[in-house]
Structure formats: C-alpha cells, structure tokens
Structure 1
C-alpha cells in the first residue's frame, strides 16, 4: 500500500511539473504602472496555454484580461508604444490595443495595415521562464 501511494505521489509531481504558470512585466513608470503577461497551463496534456494581460496604473486602475490562448511553445508577443498610455501587442497575426489610462485591452478585428508606433520589446520564453526583453535602442 505504501509503495502504491509513493508511485501515485511521484506521478502527480511529474504531471504537475510539466504545467506552465509564469508571468513577466514591462514596467512603464515603476512597479505601479505596468503591462504584464501571465501564462497558465492547467493540465499537462493540454496543448494550449491560457494567456492574460494584467494592465496596471495604480491607484487608478488594475485589470486582468483573458486573451487568445497560446501554444506550449510560445510565439513572442511584441509590444509597441503608440503614445503615452496607449500600446499595441502583437502575437502572430493577432493584435490587441492596450490602454493604461483606464486599464483596457481590446482585440483588433482586423490587423493594422502597418506596424504602429515604436517597438518597446517582446514577451518571450527565456532560459528561466517568461521574460520581457526590451528592444535595444541604437546609440
């Protein structure tokens, strides 16, 4: 009986260890003004990972939005600045408007004809997990 419980415990740990639960943030004006991405894979056998943007400008607002699910192998999400407090996020062919003034996210119905704004960086898988990698600025 003890061996059976040990085997079940090990199997549970192995199954849970393959699930993803990670987050990364792009800080705008310190930790109270940011755009974060959270990725969660609830089940090891699932091929999709739930993705959420957390838009924060404290103390005025902070909201979490579920967006289209991603694959286990993450396609990077590029983040562009349109103007102060207005951003665009792009993952593959999917585009989102992200506003920090009222902490809002909205999916584009059609992709823009041109890439808007200035590329700030991208949310992507790093060696230790999900990271926001800032775009290198030319000297």
Structure 2
C-alpha cells in the first residue's frame, strides 16, 4: 500500500505546472519587474491560471489575475505605452496595467505601444523573450 501511495503522489506532483518568467524593466538589479505566473491547480486540468505580478519597489507589489489558458500553450505579448503603462495581449484578450501604483486599468486605451517581448512556453518552461528590433537600411540616395 505504501508503494502505491508513493507512486500516486509522484504522479500528482509531476503533472502540475507552477512557474513564472520575468521582464526586468530597470535591468537585473532594479526593483521594477513584471512577472507572468502560470499555475495548473490539478493534474487532470488542461488549463492554467495566468496572472501578472507587478513589482515597483518600494512603491508597490501586486498580483493581478488575467485569464485561464492551456497550460502548455501560454503566449502573452508585452507592450510598453510609456509612463509605466504596459499592455498584455493574448489573442483577442487584452489587459492594461500601470506599474507606478501597480494597478489595472478597467479599459484598454490606445494601441498598446511598442512590443517589448513575449512570455511563452519553451520546452515546458515559461520564458520571456525580448523583442528583436530590426534596423531599416537607409535606401534613400545621398544628397550632395
């Protein structure tokens, strides 16, 4: 009976997801961080609850629930509108938060701003991938 309990316990623990990925606004040593967290509450559930954790120390720290998503298919874009306004977009769902006071806006305003990166699952782990900005070559002829 004890062996069966050990096997069942290990199955319950290995099937659940609980991880996060962070974007450090001020670099690795700053206290201004946006963290996306996903948690799959039950091993039989295919969805995970997704939330954003806003940290802007010493001013504020807050968790804001966003939505439920397939546990292995979380993908959320992070956009910056400037002035500590951030837009999170997952498909048709969009949220806007402000990180000076760690609050969520009731309505999304504007186009979201510049793409900063994407939170997504890579090899079963949630990661943040920064956007790659491409420079546009100057094709205009030089004036003499």
Q: Do both share a fold (TM > 0.5)? A: yes
Larger radius of gyration: 2
SS at match of 2:8: helix
Q: Deviations over 1:8-39 (max 9, x none)?
A: 21111112101000000000013410110110
Compute the displacement of 1:107 (Å): 5.6
SS at match of 2:7: helix
Q: Deviations over 1:49-91 (max 9, x none)?
A: 1111100100010101111111122241001111130110001
Task: Please name the residue that 1:11 is paired with.
Answer: 8
Q: TM-score of the superposition, structure 1-length normalised?
A: 0.87
Runs of 4 or more above 2 Å deviation = 105-108
Task: Give the RMSD, CA atoms, in angstroms.
Answer: 1.8
Q: 1:117 to 1:40 in 2, by over 3 A?
A: same
- How many residue pairs match? The answer is 133
Do structure 1's residue 58 and structure 2's residue 54 form an aligned pair?
Answer: no
In 2, Cα distance between the equivalents of 1:107 and 1:41?
Answer: 26
Where does structure 1 lack aligned partners over 5 or more consecutive residues?
none
CA contact (8 A) 1:75 1:92 kept: no
Task: Please name the residue that 1:70 is paired with.
Answer: 69
1:124-135 correspondence runs (5 A): 124-127=120-123, 129-135=125-131
Q: 1:41 to 1:107 in 2, by over 3 A?
A: farther
CA contact (8 A) 2:86 2:112 kept: no
